[in-house]
Amino acid sequence: MNSLLTILLLPFSWLYAAVLAGRNWLYDRGWKRSVAFAEVPVVSVGNLRVGGTGKTPHVAWLVAWLQARGQHPALLSRGYGRRTRGYRLATALDSAATVGDEPWQQFGQFGGTVPVAVSEDRAAGIRQLLADAPYSTAVVLDDAYQHRRVRPTINILLSEQQRPFYADHVLPAGRLRESRAGAARADAVIITKCAPDLSAAARAAITAQVHRYARPAVPVLFSGYDYGPPVPVPGTAAGLVAAPAGGSEVLLLTGIAQPGPLLAHLAAAGYRVAHHARFADHHAFTSAELAALAAQCQPGQCVLTTQKDAARLQEPALAASVADLPVFYIPITVRFLADGEARLASLLAPTFPLPAVG
DSSP one-letter string for 149-200: TB--SEEEEEEESSS-GGG--BTTTSSBSS-GGGGGG-SEEEEES--TT--H
Alpha helix (H) residue ranges in 211-306: 260-268, 287-296
Closest CA to 172 of 350, 7, 325, 357: 7
Strand order, beta sheet including 88-89: 88-89, 116-118, 73-77, 138-142, 42-47, 154-160, 188-192, 220-227, 332-336
Q: How many residues in the chain?
A: 358
Half-sphere exposure of 229 (CA within 13 A, CB side): 5
Half-sphere exposure of 309 (CA within 13 A, CB side): 31
User: Which residues are CB-neighbours of 177 under 8 A, at least 6 positions away?
Assistant: 20, 47, 48, 49, 50, 145, 146, 170, 171
Query: Rounded to whole angstroms, how far apart are CA atoms 62 and 3?
Result: 38
- 328, 57, 112, 234: CA torsion to nearest 10: -10
Query: Rounded to whole angstroms, how far apart are CA atoms 142 and 299?
Result: 40
The pLDDT, as a whole number, for residue 218 is 98
Angle at which helices 55-68 and 101-109 cross, to 10°: 30
Task: Please write the tens of the pLDDT for every residue from 241-291.
Answer: 999 998 999 999 999 988 999 999 999 999 999 999 999 999 999 999 999
Closest CA to 183 of 212, 223, 161, 222: 212
- Expressed in percent and rounded to 5, the helix, strand and coil fractions of the chain are 35, 20, 45
Yes or no: say if 183 and 68 are a contact pair by the CB < 8 Å rule.
Answer: no
* One-letter amino acid for residue 174 of the chain: G
Phi and psi angles of residue 198, each rounded to the nearest 5 degrees, phi first = -60, 125
Q: What Å distances lie between residue 349 and 177, 230, 272, 355, 357, CA to CA?
A: 30, 34, 44, 11, 16
Query: Rounded to whole angstroms, how far apart are CA atoms 38 and 52?
Result: 32
Could you give the residue range(s) of every CATH 3.40.50 domain in the chain? 3-71+137-225+335-348, 229-330
Q: Which residues of the chain have pLDDT under 70?
A: 1-2, 356-358
The pLDDT, as a whole number, for residue 357 is 60
Q: Residue 73: how many CB atoms within 10 A of its CB?
A: 25
* One-letter amino acid for residue 120 of the chain: E
Q: How many helices (H) and strands (E) does the chain have?
A: 11, 14
The pLDDT, as a whole number, for residue 51 is 78
Q: Which CATH number fits domain 3-71+137-225+335-348: 1.10.3470, 3.30.200, 3.40.50, 3.30.70?
A: 3.40.50
The pLDDT, as a whole number, for residue 109 is 92
The pLDDT, as a whole number, for residue 1 is 57
What is residue 120's three-state secondary structure? coil
Domain topology for 229-330: Rossmann fold (3.40.50)
